[in-house]
Amino acid sequence: MTRPMEDLLDTAERIRSMEIRGAALIGRAAAGALKEFALAIEPSGIDEFNAEVGRAAEILLDTRPTAVSLSNAIRMVMRYRGDDLDSARSSLANNADQFVERSLKAIERIGEIGSRRIRDGDVILTHCNSSVALSIIRTAHDSGKEIKVIATESRPRYQGHLTIKMLDGWGIETELVVDSAVRTVINEVDEVIVGADVITANGSLVNKIGTAQIALAAHESRTSFMVAAETYKFSPETIMGELVPIEMRAAEEVYPKISELKHVRVRNPAFDVTPHQYIDVICTEVGAIPPEMSYLIIKEMLGWEIEGRVR
């Protein structure tokens, strides 16, 4: 027997607990979960179908507040059409498949575009674990360029450990540093490459906590700062004046025994904002653009009308 709501809640929980993490994967997982849900439910008619998938979309949207890939993915999937159950179901499933395909192709294309900016012998610093930033690094390596990567640990969740294992598997020379060593090593770095959770209308970047400090160090030392972001990481909401919500996570992620202390609290923001002035280039699947062009990407690629938005 299929249990569509249980399965959907299970995916939502895996996103919330970060078993499924990284903005691109979160978007694809949500699109896939919505598709599976739509194919498995047995509503009495089209109105009930619309209401049930609408509820499912809201549950997924509530998992992690920052990554716009989640709301963009869900909005693309929810643009299904159909007057009857069968056509609505297949339209929704098609949209989900298209999102997943578009995401995977975009990551590959960004790898090709971004890797052209890497020279033989370059030292690259990356933060957290971004599948898109790593696509650039891997493509540069695969094309025969000798590169070295410096990877930060990315406290408190140590996504840097995922990054170094991946780089090791691809045979790329890598050095792991603690987050606070960035200023010490930055003069050896040719370019910083990071991923994105959100690009705002003015070209600023929201990414893993610590990214803004790295950008500051890169700016001061005249080191190039590159962002790898598919166009569905750009936020239409920010054109409408909305601020990007920064996810606050549990204190225990930073200090597990916090409950033993009476006068201390932990602040654990998962992301920070890097001003566009510190970004040299954003590599998207439609080209390497200056951050100032972000407004155009949102307008051309995503449509920024408020109507029809999930939220």
Active-site residues, by number, are 128, 197
Query: Which residue of 53, 68, 100, 270 would you call a contact of ligand RUB, by CB under 6 A?
Result: 270
Would you list the DSSP string of 57-74?
A: HHHHHTS-SS-HHHHHHH
Question: Which residues ranging from 155 to 184 are in contact with ligand RUB (CB under 6 A)?
Answer: 159
184 neighbors 159 (Cβ within 8 angstroms)? no
User: DSSP character for 248?
Assistant: B
Query: CB under 6 A: which stretch of 15-23, 42-50, 167-175, 238-246 binds ligand RUB?
Result: 15-23
Give min distance, CB of 155 to ligand RUB, in A.
12
Question: Which residues ranging from 271 to 290 are in contact with ligand RUB (CB under 6 A)?
Answer: none
Give min distance, CB of 35 to ligand RUB, in A.
20
Nearer to ligand RUB, 25 or 246 (CB): 25
Query: Which residue of 57, 76, 88, 128 would you call a contact of ligand RUB, by CB under 6 A?
Result: 128
Q: Report the run of H or E that residue 212 belongs to, with start and end.
A: helix 211-220
User: DSSP character for 243?
Assistant: P
Q: Which residues contact 203 (CB under 8 A, 6 or more apart)?
A: 276, 279, 282, 290, 291, 292, 293, 294, 295
Give min distance, CB of 282 to ligand RUB, in A.
12
- Residue found under tokens 């040299």: 280
Question: Which residues ranging from 23 to 62 are in contact with ligand RUB (CB under 6 A)?
Answer: 23-25
Give min distance, CB of 131 to ligand RUB, in A.
3
CA 10 to chain centre: 20
Query: CB under 6 A: which stretch of 94-102, 130-138, 278-286, 287-295 binds ligand RUB?
Result: 130-138
Nearer to ligand RUB, 24 or 239 (CB): 24
Told to check if 109 binds ligand RUB by CB under 6 A, we report no
Q: Which of 239, 210, 214 is nearest to 225 (CA)?
A: 214
Q: Largest Cα–Cα distance of the chain, in whole Å? A: 64
Please tell me the count of residues contacting ligand RUB according to CB under 6 A: 18
User: DSSP character for 242?
Assistant: P
d(CA 210, CA 15): 21
Residues that bind ligand RUB (CB under 6 A): 18, 21-25, 128, 130-133, 159, 195-197, 207-208, 270
